[in-house]
Amino acid sequence: LIDQAIASTGASSVKEMGKVMGVIKPKAQGRADMGKIGAMIKARLTG
């Protein structure tokens, strides 16, 4: 889910994390810990 969201938004840096969260949030809200998802997105975007 995270990799798909990064690919679909074209995000390449942590500055674009909001775009990725915007794609993931409606799909994961209430089913996953958004804090953990945010940390995973940040880790992928930083390298």
Evaluate whether 37 touches 20 at the Cβ level (below 8 Å): no
Structural domains of the chain in order of their starting residue, each with its CATH number = 2-46 (1.10.10.410)
> Which pLDDT value is given to residue 29?
87
Handedness of CA 22, 24, 19, 39 (dihedral sign): positive
pLDDT of residue 47: 81
Contacts 24+ apart (CB under 8 A), 37-41: 37/2, 40/2, 41/2, 41/5, 41/6, 41/17
The model's pLDDT over 5-37, given as tens digits with 9 standing for 90+, comes to 999 999 999 999 999 999 999 999 899 999 999
Q: Taking a C-beta distance cutoff of 8 angstroms, is the pair 17, 41 a contact?
A: yes
Q: Quick check: pTM over 0.85?
A: yes
